[in-house]
Amino acid sequence: MLTDIWTVMRKELKEIANVRERIGLIGILFMIVTFGILLPWQMGRSWIESPITLIYWAWLPLFQVITVVADSFAGERERHTLETLLASRLPDQAILFGKLLAALTYGVGLTWISLLVGLITINLVHSPGSLIFYPPDVAFAVLSISLLSGGLAAGAGVLVSLRAKTVQQVTQLLSIAVMLLIFLPTFGLQMLPAAWQERLLKSVANWDVTQTVLTAIVVLVVIDSILIGAAMRRFQRTRLISE
């Protein structure tokens, strides 16, 4: 099974690399420069020490995974290669998890590269003379949240891509979902009365960071598991071929 998953995953990663090469590397370089050089340069040591940066590392893999996961099944359907793939002897789970893990590897991999570049930037620009590293609790939180956030996008993306007719449909739906996820809480907070906003902000300021991060990890694990489970139930060869 692991060999079959790796076979599908390697095929997907090669296709992702070919697409990125055709589109250009400007977008990828812009992302790495922004999150690996510019922001760490401006924020200094707080970039690797402050829990606030978790917002960036939760947001970034979401968008990176979305850019490729939409093609997982909807793209095969558009190119009329889905029937050939489903007619192969590869197990269902190998096809599903190979595509899911390829998108996750791409999105989270770029995020972690930005993390490493940011650490190098901090040491070159803001080091007091000794090496600076991410504090263990921050490193654990960043790696876990970014991985699970990418898993959220990958699970949802594969599930939607199984149903959609075109890549554009998947991309639009996932982009709208992410935008709502980000902007609804922001605008919702602004619509509250000033007294409620102040009370809510004071409550958030008193949260225990470690407990909050652990709660977020548990919630993401549950949601990711539900999405992947739904995708596994949805993946039926005869049904996919007939659609």
Report residue 23's pLDDT band, with 50, 70 and 90 as the boundaries.
low
The answer as to whether 9 is a domain residue is yes
* Predicted pLDDT at 235: 84
Say if CB 48 and CB 163 are below 8 A apart: no
Instruction: Give the model's pLDDT for residue 156.
Output: 92
Residue 142 belongs to some domain of the structure: yes
Q: Which residues contact 165 (CB under 8 A, 6 or more apart)?
A: 74, 77, 78
**Which pLDDT band, with edges at 50, 70 and 90, does 200 fall under?**
low
Exposure letters 14-44 (e unless 16+ CB within 10 A, then b): ebbeeeeeeeeeeebeebbeebbbebbeebe
pLDDT in tens, 162-181: 888 888 888 888 888 877 77
- Distance separating alpha carbons of residues 54 and 142, to the nearest angstrom: 6
- Domain membership flag for residue 7: yes
Residue 241 lies in a domain: no
pTM of the model: 0.85
* Number of domain units in the chain: 1
| Structural domain range at position 146 | 1-234
Q: Which residues contact 217 (CB under 8 A, 6 or more apart)?
A: 144, 145, 148
Q: What pLDDT, in 10s, does the model give residues 100-126?
A: 999 999 999 999 999 999 999 999 888
Cβ neighbours, 10 Å, residue 207: 12
- Span 40-72, pLDDT tens digits: 988 888 888 777 788 888 888 988 898 888 888
Residue 242 lies in a domain: no
Mean pLDDT to the nearest integer, 68-80:
84
Decide if 30 is inside a domain. Answer: yes
pLDDT value, residue 72: 84
Cβ atoms of 178 and 66 closer than 8 Å: yes
Check pLDDT > 80 for residue 230. Answer: yes
Of 196, 36, 4, 176, which is closest to residue 168 (Cα–Cα)? 176
- Is 33 part of a structural domain of the chain? yes
Kindly calculate the radius of gyration of the chain based on its CA atoms and give it in whole angstroms: 20
Q: Considering the domain boundaries, does residue 243 fall inside one?
A: no
